[in-house]
């Protein structure tokens, strides 16, 4: 078990190294000059040379990459030994070209909004998706099943920017029941937090619960045909116990896996949702960074979301071993 | 008599799971040091319970699996480590029939295509053309030759097994390995297929290795029978000797466990009940592998592995044979 | 006095795209406590469908079940699902062929036995666990207090079937249905399980319905045999009547076609020609007539009308469904079939 975890962490780190190297390489493949990008409007050749030196862009590529990686683990110091010495503590991902803020601080600043979207929406879509899937499976072939699966099929084929904009138009612009989506701290303004997050949650949950509903329904129906469900009936268990204990237990395992990966992906940035609702999360941070060619921020967000996905993968595999006793971790 | 197949010290160890990062991988000792011969035209039965390695043996002989050690000599040629390409001409003489007539036929091919596949693979055109030969083969195995263009799903289980037999027969092989050919079939169909295989064996003088768990079925097919337990042969003898005077305790127990159809004969038979299940082939018992379930086991059985020795007309691997 | 189990005119049919399939057609039989009835047939004969009907397990499916299934005088078929639920696993229980598939892979063996006990007994979890260990011990699982926390995949095939039996017997049922309980097992383990079932039956006076295709297994365990073909009962009698003096040509065919450890092994087996019919297109008249070698001795009737289930010359207990005359059947068996067995 421990050695398994160790191996997974090592291989995860290797993947991160590759991801970071690729993203870092983009700096140099791009036609744009990073020094000019960070220079701003009042720029001169002198200034560019100075910036190039400040950002250590005058070093060779391997040296730069090495210092970048070192910065993540132990921090780094720009312009060492000069009066303008700039100390960037670990984990250092450099400074934004646009705002000159440390990328780490930006990520820390934006994470709560993204986490709010991801966790809120996931609770909602699990509730809706699982319950409608279960009801559909138990009432297979009835109008409830046909209706909910019809809605699910429709929802799964819609796009976030369409549903999101329609909902925003109705509830914010026309009815004015909700404020414009945004982010307030749930610790200080819990009511505003819920009101502002409501539309992103509903939009994401609407689409994802459709997928989960279909997954749950298909899983339940498959398990209902298993021999061990017939055994459970032969024992004299009530239908409720059979469905909620034996069938659901069998059907839930693959759903947990998909859920872990979805959540991990979302935590790295609910890109489209944040963009559509203009929420200052990681996704918005990365789309803005791409629009402005803010290379340190792009690198930072990509590595950050890769970490989430890798961690989610490891957690899902561990969880799978807990849920399925036949899987022995080794 | 010339032997068509000689197997010496045949061994197959499958890699099992690992228990720690740098620890050794478990080895599943599916077949461990098996030796036997098959004479040309002879029908030999290979019986044993699940996990005894009988199916693995069949797959090793037909080189669907790569042996870990030992030697397989077929028709005078050492085929132990031949590549797929080198095996191709040899497969004309060495065919296999599988247990599951549903899984072993490609559902998207017609019966004609399936039965003709050995010709295609071998690049052989039989006299009178492929189609004529395939129809002859279908007739030989008792299928309607007009059903050449039908698909496997249009046939019953027994008929599908006949299709598999026709395919194995196509190139007039010298040896056919039949791996549990009747165990998936209904009782009333089993007899048809056993009779068919037996007819073919005598008519075309094909050697057969008949792998089965059912001792009564093997008795009706084989001239010689080898009993396997945990990857090794414990007894090998001609049929009548093995069934009437079994020498190995395991053979005795196995025969005694076969349920008796005649209610009046039940009381008259010796009843031997083995306890427990077959041990795990990852960690087989030391010495004689059967000793953990044997009522005759002594200290020597744990320390020394008995060799297959000639006793009367049987070969037995036991320290205390009957 | 009426029998412990009495099945009267049981019919089970399923609607399919190709029309209504009659999987079980007018089946009647009785069974007393402490006795074993072997239901024998090939695939599609309706033997498993019958067993599920007795437990009322077709309720809630598309199957249409008619007739009466009386256990201690209560009609299972007339009961509502929740009434039958209180009897399943309690008054009557069932074990299945493939114990690995029939046990839930995600719950421990102990948990599954406890559950069966708890649903019918108002006791604490601790008491139920004690019961599970006691039952595992009774069916011969070594170290039951340790193995009770194992998952099914950690058991060997024979132990899993023992655990299934422990689960089925945890509430001391009066009726146990065993559906091919040893088919998936090795012969030496099969012999152990047969012995175990026989011992348990003696101890608890259970009525057992044993469903199998194996005449050897049924010979070693059953008192009576019911032979089914294409959904119909074609012969019923004691083990000796069916296995030593059967009256139906299908029974003759089965007995002659099975390979045995005795007799001349070099003689070809007397195989039954053809294949068991599909229930979608059952032959007219006697369903066995296309495969029967004695049709010519009867004539048109075999394909025209379904023979009645009638007593043989052996007595009222031995029933057979065949157009051949009872004495002719005896002659054929004695002169043509018996000498070749």
Tell me what pLDDT residue B123 has: 82
Tell me what pLDDT residue C168 has: 94
- Residue C104 has its nearest CB partner, among A228, A234, A238, at A228
Kindly state whether residue A96 falls inside one of the protein's structural domains. no
Residues A59 and A190 in one domain: no
**Domain end (from A32, A55, A88):** A88
C-alpha distance from C51 to closest chain A C-alpha (Å): 11
C-alpha distance from A261 to closest chain B C-alpha (Å): 26
Q: How confident is the model at residue C268 (pLDDT cuts 50, 70, 90)?
A: confident
Residues A74 and A25 in one domain: yes
Residues A12 and A137 in one domain: no
If DSSP codes are grouped into helix, strand and coil, which group holds residue A96?
A: coil
Q: How confident is the model at residue C209 (pLDDT cuts 50, 70, 90)?
A: very high
Q: What is the CATH number of the domain that holds A154?
A: 1.10.3720.10
Kindly state whether residue A27 falls inside one of the protein's structural domains. yes
Residue B207 CB neighbour total at 10 angstroms: 22
- Residue B220 has its nearest CB partner, among C42, C186, C269, at C269
ipTM of the complex: 0.89
What stretches of chain C show up as alpha helix (H) in DSSP? 47-54, 81-87, 99-102, 109-118, 125-138, 144-147, 157-169, 187-204, 215-221, 239-244, 249-257, 301-304, 326-332
Report the 3 state secondary structure along chain B.
CCEEEEEEEEEEEEEEEECCCCCCEEEEEEEEEEEEEEECCCEEEEECCCCCCHHHHHHHHCCCCCCCEEEEEECCEECCCCCHHHHHHHHCCEEEECCCCCCCCCCCCCHHHHHHHHHHHHCCCCCCCHHHHHHHHHHHCCCCHHHHHCCHHHCCHHHHHHHHHHHHHCCCCCEEEEECCCCCCCHHHHHHHHHHHHHHHHHHCCEEEEEECCHHHHHCCCCEEEEEECCEEEEEEEHHHHHHCCCCHHHHHHHHHCCCCCCCCCCCCCCCCCCCCCCCCCCCCCCCCCHHHCCCCCHHHHHCCCCCEEECCEEECCCCCC
Global confidence as pTM: 0.86
If DSSP codes are grouped into helix, strand and coil, which group holds residue C71?
A: strand
Tell me what pLDDT residue B20 has: 56
Q: Is C72 left (phi over 0), alpha (psi -120 to 50) or beta?
A: left
Tell me what pLDDT residue A31 has: 67
**Domain end (from A31, A56, A88):** A88
C-alpha distance from A330 to closest chain B C-alpha (Å): 6
Query: Residue C333 above 90 pLDDT?
Result: yes
Compute the Cα dihedral for C18, C20, C26, C32 and give only its sign: positive
Residues A135 and A255 in one domain: yes
So where are chain C's domains? 107-171, 246-338
If DSSP codes are grouped into helix, strand and coil, which group holds residue A206?
A: helix
Residues A302 and A191 in one domain: yes
Containing structural domain, residue A15? 2-88
Tell me what pLDDT residue B10 has: 95
* CA nearest to C112 within chain A: A232
* CA nearest to A320 within chain C: C106
Kindly state whether residue A95 falls inside one of the protein's structural domains. no
Q: How confident is the model at residue C16 (pLDDT cuts 50, 70, 90)?
A: confident
C-alpha distance from C121 to closest chain A C-alpha (Å): 12
Q: Which residues of chain B neighbour C272 with C-beta distances below 8 Å?
A: 188, 191-192
Mean pLDDT by 10 residues, chain B (322 residues): 90 78 75 93 93 92 94 94 90 89 86 90 84 90 88 87 91 93 86 91 93 93 95 94 94 92 84 84 90 92 93 92 88
Residues A54 and A191 in one domain: no
HSE-CB for B110 with a 13 A CA cutoff: 13
Altogether, the residues listed in chain C come to a count of 341
Q: How many domains is chain A partitioned into structurally?
A: 2
Residues A241 and A198 in one domain: yes
Query: Residue C82 above 70 pLDDT?
Result: yes
Whether the CB of A142 is below 8 Å from some CB of chain C: the reply is no
Rounded average pLDDT over C219-247:
95
Tell me what pLDDT residue C183 has: 86
Judge contact between C8 and C14, C-beta under 8 A.
Answer: no
Kindly state whether residue A133 falls inside one of the protein's structural domains. yes
Tell me what pLDDT residue C40 has: 95
Point out the residues of chain A with pLDDT beneath 70: 1, 27-28, 31-32, 40-41, 328-330
**Domain end (from A57, A88, A119):** A88
Rounded average pLDDT over C37-41:
95
Kindly state whether residue A94 falls inside one of the protein's structural domains. no
Kindly state whether residue A98 falls inside one of the protein's structural domains. no
Residues A237 and A136 in one domain: yes
Residue C213 main-chain phi, psi, to 5 deg: -110, -5
Residues A178 and A304 in one domain: yes
Domains and CATH numbers, chain B: 1-221 (3.40.50.300)
Whether the CB of C146 is below 8 Å from some CB of chain A: the reply is no
- Mean pLDDT of all residues in chain C? 92
- What DSSP designation does A95 have? B
Residues A113 and A21 in one domain: no
Contacting A residues, span 247-286, partner chain C, CB-CB under 8 Å: 249-250, 253
Rounded CA-CA distance C66/C11 in Å is 5
Q: Which residues of chain A neighbour B20 with C-beta distances below 8 Å?
A: 3, 330
Kindly state whether residue A93 falls inside one of the protein's structural domains. no
Residues A50 and A114 in one domain: no
């Amino acid at each position: 078990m421990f050695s398994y975890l160790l191996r997974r962490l090592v291989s995860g780190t290797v993947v991160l190294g590759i991801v970071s190297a690729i993203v870092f390489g983009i700096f140099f493949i791009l036609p744009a000059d990073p020094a000019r990008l960070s220079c701003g409007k009042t720029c001169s050749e002198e200034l560019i040379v100075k910036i190039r030196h400040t950002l250590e862009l005058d070093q060779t590529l391997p040296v730069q990459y090495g210092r970048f990686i070192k910065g993540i683990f132990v921090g780094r110091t720009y312009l060492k030994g000069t009066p303008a010495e700039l100390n960037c503590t670990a984990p250092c991902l450099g400074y934004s070209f646009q705002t000159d803020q440390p990328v780490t601080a930006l990520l820390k600043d934006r994470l709560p909004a993204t986490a709010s979207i991801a966790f809120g929406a996931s609770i909602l879509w699990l509730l809706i998706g699982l319950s409608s899937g279960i009801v559909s499976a138990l009432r297979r072939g009835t109008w409830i099943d046909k209706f909910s699966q019809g809605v699910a099929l429709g929802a799964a084929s819609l796009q976030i920017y369409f549903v999101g904009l329609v909902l925003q138009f109705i509830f914010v612009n026309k009815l004015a029941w909700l404020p414009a989506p945004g982010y307030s701290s749930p610790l200080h303004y819990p009511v505003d937090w819920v009101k502002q997050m409501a539309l992103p949650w509903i939009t994401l949950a609407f689409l994802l619960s459709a997928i989960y509903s279909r997954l749950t329904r298909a899983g339940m129906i498959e398990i209902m045909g298993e021999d061990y469900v017939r055994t459970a009936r032969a024992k004299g268990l009530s239908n409720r116990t059979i469905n909620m204990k034996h069938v659901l237990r069998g059907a839930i395992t693959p759903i947990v896996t998909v859920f872990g990966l979805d959540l991990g992906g979302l935590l790295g940035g609910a890109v489209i949702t944040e963009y559509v609702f203009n929420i200052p999360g990681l996704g918005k941070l990365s789309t803005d960074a791409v629009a402005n060619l803010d290379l340190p921020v792009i690198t930072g967000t990509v590595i950050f979301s890769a970490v989430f996905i890798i961690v989610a993968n490891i957690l899902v595999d561990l969880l799978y071993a807990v849920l399925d006793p036949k899987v022995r971790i080794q | 008599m010339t032997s068509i197949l000689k197997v010496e010290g045949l061994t197959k160890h499958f890699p099992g799971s690992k228990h720690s990062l740098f620890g050794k991988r478990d080895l599943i000792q599916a077949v461990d040091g098996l030796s036997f011969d098959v004479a040309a035209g002879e029908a030999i039965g290979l019986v044993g319970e699940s996990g005894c390695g009988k199916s693995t043996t069949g797959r090793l002989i037909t080189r669907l699996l790569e042996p870990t050690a030992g030697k397989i000599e077929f028709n005078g040629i050492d085929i132990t480590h031949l590549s797929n390409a080198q095996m191709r001409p040899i497969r004309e003489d060495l065919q296999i029939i599988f247990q599951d007539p549903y899984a072993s036929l490609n559902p998207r091919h017609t019966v004609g295509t399936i039965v003709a596949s050995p010709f295609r693979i071998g690049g052989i055109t039989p006299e009178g053309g492929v189609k004529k030969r395939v129809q002859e083969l279908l007739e030989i195995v008792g299928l309607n030759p007009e059903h050449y263009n039908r698909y496997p799903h249009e046939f019953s289980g027994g008929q599908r097994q006949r299709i598999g037999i026709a395919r194995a027969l196509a190139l007039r092989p010298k040896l056919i390995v039949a791996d549990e050919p009747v165990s998936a079939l209904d009782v009333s169909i089993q007899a048809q297929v056993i009779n068919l295989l037996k007819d073919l064996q005598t008519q075309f003088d094909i050697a057969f290795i008949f792998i089965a768990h059912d001792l009564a079925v093997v008795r009706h097919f084989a001239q010689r029978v080898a009993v396997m337990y945990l990857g090794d042969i414990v007894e090998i003898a001609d049929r009548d000797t093995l069934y009437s005077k079994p020498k190995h305790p395991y053979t005795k127990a196995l025969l005694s466990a076969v349920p008796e159809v005649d209610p009046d004969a039940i009381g008259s038979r010796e009843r031997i009940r083995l306890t427990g299940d077959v041990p795990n082939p990852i960690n087989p018992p030391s010495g004689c592998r059967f000793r953990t379930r044997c009522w005759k086991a002594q200290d020597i059985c744990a320390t020394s592995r008995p060799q297959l020795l000639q006793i009367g007309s049987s070969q037995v691997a036991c320290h205390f044979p009957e | 006095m009426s029998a412990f189990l009495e099945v009267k005119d049981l019919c089970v049919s399923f609607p399919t795209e190709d029309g209504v399939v009659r999987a079980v057609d007018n089946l009647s039989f009785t069974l007393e406590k402490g006795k074993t009835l072997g239901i024998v047939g090939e695939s599609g004969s309706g033997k498993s469908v019958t067993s599920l009907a007795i437990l009322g397990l077709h309720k809630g499916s598309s199957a249409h079940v008619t007739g009466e299934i009386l256990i201690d005088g209560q009609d299972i078929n007339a009961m509502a699902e929740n009434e039958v639920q209180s009897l399943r696993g309690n008054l009557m229980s069932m074990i299945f062929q493939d114990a690995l598939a029939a046990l839930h892979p995600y719950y421990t063996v102990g948990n599954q036995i406890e559950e069966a006990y708890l649903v019918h007994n108002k006791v604490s979890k601790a008491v139920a666990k004690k019961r599970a260990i006691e039952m595992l011990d009774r069916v011969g699982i070594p170290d039951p207090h340790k193995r009770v926390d194992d998952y099914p995949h950690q058991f060997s095939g024979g132990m899993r079937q023992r655990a299934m039996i422990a689960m089925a017997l945890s509430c001391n049922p009066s009726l146990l249905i065993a559906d091919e309980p040893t088919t998936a097992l090795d012969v030496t383990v099969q012999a152990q399980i047969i012995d175990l079932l026989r011992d348990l039956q003696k101890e608890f006076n259970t009525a057992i319905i044993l469903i199998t295709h194996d005449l050897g297994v049924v010979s070693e365990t059953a008192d009576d045999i019911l032979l089914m073909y294409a959904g119909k009962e074609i012969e019923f009698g004691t083990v000796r009547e069916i296995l030593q003096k059967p009256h139906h040509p299908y029974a003759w065919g089965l007995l002659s076609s099975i390979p045995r450890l005795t007799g001349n092994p070099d003689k070809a087996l007397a195989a039954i020609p053809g294949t068991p019919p599909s229930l979608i297109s059952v032959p007219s008249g006697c369903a066995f007539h296309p495969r029967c070698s004695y049709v010519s001795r009867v004539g048109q009737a075999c394909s025209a009308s379904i023979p009645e289930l009638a007593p043989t010359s052996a007595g009222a207990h031995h029933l057979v469904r065949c157009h051949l005359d009872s004495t002719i059947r005896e002659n054929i068996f004695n002169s043509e079939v018996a000498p070749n067995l």
